[in-house]
Amino acid sequence: MKLSMKEIEHDLATWWEQPWCMDRWEIINHLIKRYKFESYLEIGVSNPRWCFNMVSCRDKDGVDPGYEFDNNVANYNMTSDEFFDTIPKDKKWDVIFIDGLHLAQQVIKDVYNALDHLNEGGFILMHDCNPPNVWRQRENYSIDGYNYPWNGTTWKAYYQLRKTRSDLSMCVIDTDYGVGLIRRGRQILAPADNEFYDFNILQEKKKEYLNLISCDELDSFLDTTDENLNENLTPTL
């Protein structure tokens, strides 16, 4: 994707205009505190100052192959595919944050693998679910050898789950380029009318496609997921 230098400079100069009511790590810590979670897994640590070091949890694990950041602090120095192939099938976490390779086909694999290793009542979070423009959701991280800001095609994986998985509770918090939440439960499926994952259609229908909410609506969403979870756990007489 080719952009003029003027377009690139405008994008870089206006990043702060995006909605930003909470950082990703603040949302994670909110969940940990609210539910007294004790285990946290981060897929795609990269620079730990961006998120990993800010998370307050008793047990923390990180996965990163070390391609982007020389000082790799992840205790699992490997790709997410290698990681999920390596760990015991019964190993589980309360919170799993997915922020690795931002391409839809990899993200959807990470989500399905994470669901297999998620404790009952736990959450999966995804970063970069609401890119502000078509350039940010490009397929390639690097352009002409430069690594410009990138949200990738994570939104496509999220939308796929929103329109196919009625057994999940999902929303995207409209902050920090879209922080997606996934929990087992139930949801009204998103319209399946964007067959080719056109970004312009997403922009028109992002509230429906992503179940986009504000930070002020987060606790209300969590209350609803609690009710759904409790109903699913109630034995049928």
No. of H helices and E strands in the chain?
7, 9
Instruction: Give pLDDT, residue 207.
Output: 96
Q: Which residues of the chain have pLDDT under 50?
A: 235-237
Instruction: Give pLDDT, residue 237.
Output: 45
Instruction: Give pLDDT, residue 145.
Output: 55
d(CA 49, CA 209): 31
Residue 187 burial (10 A CB sphere; 0-12, 13-18, 19+): buried
Instruction: Give pLDDT, residue 150.
Output: 65
Residue 92 burial (10 A CB sphere; 0-12, 13-18, 19+): middle
Q: Take residue 136 and report the two structure tokens written for it.
A: 């940010």
Instruction: Give pLDDT, residue 141.
Output: 59
Instruction: Give pLDDT, residue 46.
Output: 87
Residue whose C-alpha is closest to residue 179's, from 139, 147, 142, 151 = 151
3-state secondary structure of 175: coil
d(CA 117, CA 111): 10
Domain ranges of the chain: 5-233
CATH architecture assignment, domain 5-233: 3-Layer(aba) Sandwich (3.40)
> What's the DSSP call for residue 17?
G
Instruction: Give pLDDT, residue 193.
Output: 96
Beta strands in the chain (DSSP E): 39-43, 59-63, 93-98, 118-126, 142-143, 146-147, 168-173, 179-184, 212-213
Instruction: Give pLDDT, residue 6.
Output: 65
- Model's pTM, two decimal places? 0.90
Instruction: Give pLDDT, residue 146.
Output: 55
d(CA 95, CA 221): 17
